[in-house]
A and B are shown apart, each in its own frame.
Chain A
């Protein structure tokens, strides 16, 4: 006889936003959660190192997310200006 032992459902994280999309910080959190997971069973000094790495990673991701959004807006502004939508372009540039 063969028996399958334990079937388990993992835990999800839910992130929500109000009046707009997720913030850069929330997106950075999403990315870090996927990249770094820290075992509850890990030795304390390993857990501490992993937590510090996670915080550092989050700061790096946050800054590059800011850059990515700014650069995308710059591309959108360029396209709008090229098509004569100067007022809309200025509005987006100021976001």
Chain B
């Protein structure tokens, strides 16, 4: 599979290096870029994204359309959280929903990356099938920010 949902291996390393800050106020700048698996990309190359992805790439990224431009859209951070308890708990963080308007886009997946420090990758999202907007809105709805659903969870 060319696009496989995963938390990037390099993210775990760069997280330990202190290169990411998910706080809503004063945190790092994160972006979401959309990718096509075959047709729909800005070039003939197919996007290959997964746990081995280390940084943002334009290979296979969808073409500029409407409010979508190269590099993707800026994400709004949701403060990291963890339940205070005597047992082991899951820490999590999330993002606000992101929409691209008046856009003609066909995308199979996305890459979330830190555009503030070296475009380091965070995670790959697999939409499992092509999603298409035609002169319309392309909305990515993030899951509920809790320990069971949030986009990034560390147990």
Contacts and interface: CB of A to CB of B under 8 A. Distances in A.
B149 A37 contact: yes
Contacts, number: 99
B139 interface: yes
B152 A4 contact: no
B133 A10 contact: no
Interface stretch (B5-13, B20-28, B57-65, B79-87): B5-13
Interface in A1-45: 4-22, 26, 30, 33-34, 37, 39
- Which secondary structure dominates where chain A touches chain B? mixed
Interface residues of B, number: 38
B42 interface: no
Contacts of B6: 9
B119 to A, nearest CB: 18
A22 B139 contact: yes
Contacts of B141: 12-15, 30, 33-34
Contacts of B105: 16
Given A4-B154, A12-B142, A16-B132, A21 B5 contact: no
Contacts of B144: 33-34, 37
Interface of B: 5-7, 12, 88, 94, 97, 101, 105, 107, 110, 123-125, 127, 131-144, 146, 148-155
Interface of A: 4-22, 26, 30, 33-34, 37, 39
